[in-house]
């Protein structure tokens, strides 16, 4: 989960290469869903960077326009579109769920109401962990009990990839998409950070050039 509010695309790409290689070599997983849930930068070059780095989706909590949609296509500067999910109820929406069906049902109702305010479809994402904490061991049993107790909605334990697949199965390609397109910079401050702070950008470019030269010499 890199800092994407810095004046260097090189840093972002190198972090992705390192992380993707690790997941492929150690876990035999090709990561297609970016999980930038707590990063502090949303400049409009991100869609192009992520798509070229092999991501199909991105999901995040911080930095979204007020009252914006939780599902949308983010169109970058060059026209690249990235399907995104913004977490309006934080990346810990289902954290600390009660281990009691009566309290759990009230807990679920409050979360659903909060998420529905921004959702484009009836599919809602509600992450169950918090930072580096594991999912509560009682959650699967509570989900099963909740689903048996009512017919209004269904809770599903799923991966982000499965969630995005369910969303896009409801969508129509092209201009008739049910999901809106966002084209602006989502940073509340330091907008256009890849071209602002020109002195830092110039220093960074000099270092990038030296790094490339050093790599070529090593080869």
Domain that holds residue 106: 9-218
Within-domain flag for 45 = yes
Within-domain flag for 68 = yes
Within-domain flag for 1 = no
Q: What is the pLDDT of residue 190?
A: 63
pLDDT digit string, tens, across residues 12-34? 888 888 999 999 999 999 999 99
Closest CA to 85 of 19, 3, 195, 168: 168
Contact 104, 95 (CB under 8 A): no
Q: What is the pLDDT of residue 70?
A: 95
pLDDT digit string, tens, across residues 172-184? 766 688 999 998 8
| CA distance linking residue 53 with residue 80, whole number of Å | 12
Please give the tally of structural domains in the chain: 1
Q: What is the pLDDT of residue 9?
A: 73
| pLDDT < 70 positions in the chain | 3, 5-7, 173-175, 188-198, 219
CATH classification at residue 59:
3.20.110.10
What's the start-to-end Cα distance of the chain, in Å?
A: 30
Question: Exposure string (b/e) for 86-121, b if CB count within 10 Å is 16 or more?
Answer: bbbbebbbbbebeeeeeebbebbeebbebbeebbbe
Within-domain flag for 3 = no
Within-domain flag for 59 = yes
What is the chain's length? 219
| CA distance linking residue 165 with residue 168, whole number of Å | 5
Within-domain flag for 107 = yes
């Amino acid at each position: 989960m890199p800092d994407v509010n810095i004046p260097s695309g090189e840093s972002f790409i190198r972090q992705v290469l390192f992380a993707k290689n690790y997941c492929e070599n150690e876990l035999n997983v090709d990561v297609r869903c970016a999980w930038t849930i707590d990063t502090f930068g949303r400049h409009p070059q991100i869609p192009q960077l992520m798509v070229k780095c092999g991501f199909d989706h991105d999901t995040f909590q911080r930095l979204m326009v007020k009252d914006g949609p939780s599902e949308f296509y983010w169109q970058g500067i060059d026209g690249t579109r990235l399907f995104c999910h913004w977490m309006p109820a934080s990346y810990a929406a289902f954290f600390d769920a009660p281990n009691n069906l009566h309290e759990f049902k009230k807990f679920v109702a409050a979360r659903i109401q909060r998420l529905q305010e921004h959702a484009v479809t009836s599919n809602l994402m509600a992450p169950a962990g918090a930072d580096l904490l594991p999912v509560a061991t009682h959650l699967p049993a509570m989900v099963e009990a909740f689903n048996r107790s009512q017919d209004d909605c269904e809770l599903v334990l799923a991966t982000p990839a499965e969630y995005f697949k369910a969303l896009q199965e409801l969508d129509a390609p092209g201009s008739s998409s049910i999901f809106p397109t966002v084209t602006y910079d989502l940073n509340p401050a330091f907008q256009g950070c890849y071209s602002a702070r020109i002195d830092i950008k110039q220093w960074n470019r000099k270092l990038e050039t030296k790094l490339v030269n050093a790599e070529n010499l090593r080869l």
